């Protein structure tokens, strides 16, 4: 599908959405009710992988989750700031770091292949928890990466670490299984 066809598909989907004909059941009117603010009950840091539909995985509607997505569910200053926003300004008390099986970003980092442009920075962010693993260790790499990101967020000073110490927030690791749809919360 070329860019013109992709844009046309997005426009058609938005038209179905705004006219109340979306198969998702969510309407523009429902979203309009959120115009005055949001009060999500949790924040999810997930992978940008198109196979990981966060809201659908947890069967929630608009306004219920504050979702931050980036390939490999890595943390950067911008990602951390988004999570800090959810905790400090929106009062979210649970942050779930959601990795997933067969993660392409983790797989690429495990392969050690050279990458162009900013992809190299992304793979470098994934490298520390993957030390000692090879391409066949993808499942373990996904788990290690999730735990690594959780540790980084828990140590994020001053906002997240303070909120955790004060009992206002918790950061929990999890992995989504593409084949079954199950989300396993890991030892937290």
Residue 110's CATH number: 3.40.1050.10
For residue 169, the enclosing domain spans 39-185
Residues 64, 153 within the same domain: yes
pLDDT of 144 > 90? The answer is: yes
Least confident of 44-48, 85-89, 132-136: 132-136
How far, in Å, CA of 33 to CA of 60, rounded? 16
pLDDT of residue 9: 79
For residues 148 and 167, membership in a common domain is answered with: yes
Percent of the chain exceeding pLDDT 70 equals: 93
pLDDT band (50, 70, 90) for residue 118: very high
Instruction: State both tokens at 127.
Output: 């490298």
50 plus 29 within the same structural domain: no
What string of DSSP letters covers 136-160? GGHHHHHHHHHHHHHHHHHT-TTHH
149 pLDDT higher than 90: yes
Same domain, 162 and 86: yes
- pLDDT at position 188 is 60
Same-domain status, 70 and 31: no
Query: Do 140 and 50 fall into the same domain?
Result: yes
How many angstroms separate the CA atoms of 44 and 150, rounded?
A: 12
Question: 99 and 18: one domain?
Answer: no
What mean pLDDT do residues 17-38 have?
Answer: 72
pLDDT computed for residue 59 by the predictor: 85
Q: What mean pLDDT is predicted for residues 57-71?
A: 91
127 and 56 belong to one structural domain: yes
Looking at per-residue confidence, does 30 or 114 come out higher?
Answer: 114
Q: Are residues 28 and 91 both part of a single domain?
A: no
The structural domain count of the chain equals 2
19 and 109 housed in the same domain: no
Name the token pair of 109: 């980092």
4, pLDDT greater than 90: no
**Are residues 29 and 64 located together in one domain of the fold?**
no
Please tell me whether residues 48 and 109 are part of one structural domain. Answer: yes
- Checking 143-148 for CB contacts under 8 A at 24+ apart, the result is 143/99, 143/173, 143/175, 143/186, 145/72, 145/73, 145/74, 145/99, 145/103, 145/106, 146/73, 146/97, 146/98, 146/99, 146/173, 146/174, 146/175, 146/186, 147/173, 147/186
The two three-digit tokens of residue 170, written as one number? 């918790």
Look at residue 162 and tell me whether its pLDDT is greater than 80: yes
Per DSSP, which regions of 19-139 are E strands?
Answer: 42-46, 65-69, 94-100
Q: Does 171 have pLDDT greater than 70?
A: yes
């Amino acid at each position: 599908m070329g860019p013109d066809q992709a844009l046309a598909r997005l426009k058609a989907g938005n038209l179905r959405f705004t006219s109340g004909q979306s198969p998702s059941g969510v309407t523009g009117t429902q979203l309009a009710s959120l115009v005055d603010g949001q009060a999500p009950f949790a924040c999810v840091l997930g992978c940008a992988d198109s196979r990981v539909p966060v809201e659908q995985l947890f069967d929630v509607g608009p306004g219920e989750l504050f979702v931050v997505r980036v390939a490999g569910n890595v943390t950067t200053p911008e990602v951390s700031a988004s999570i800090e926003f959810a905790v400090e300004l929106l009062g979210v008390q649970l942050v779930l770091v959601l990795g997933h099986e067969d993660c392409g970003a983790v797989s690429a980092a495990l392969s050690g292949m050279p990458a162009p442009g900013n992809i190299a920075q992304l793979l470098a962010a994934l490298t520390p928890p993957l030390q000692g693993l090879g391409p066949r260790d993808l499942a373990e790499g996904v788990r290690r990466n999730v735990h690594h990101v959780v540790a980084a967020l828990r140590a994020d000073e001053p906002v997240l670490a303070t909120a955790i110490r004060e009992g206002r927030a918790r950061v929990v690791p999890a992995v989504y299984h593409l084949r079954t749809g199950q989300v396993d919360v890991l030892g937290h």
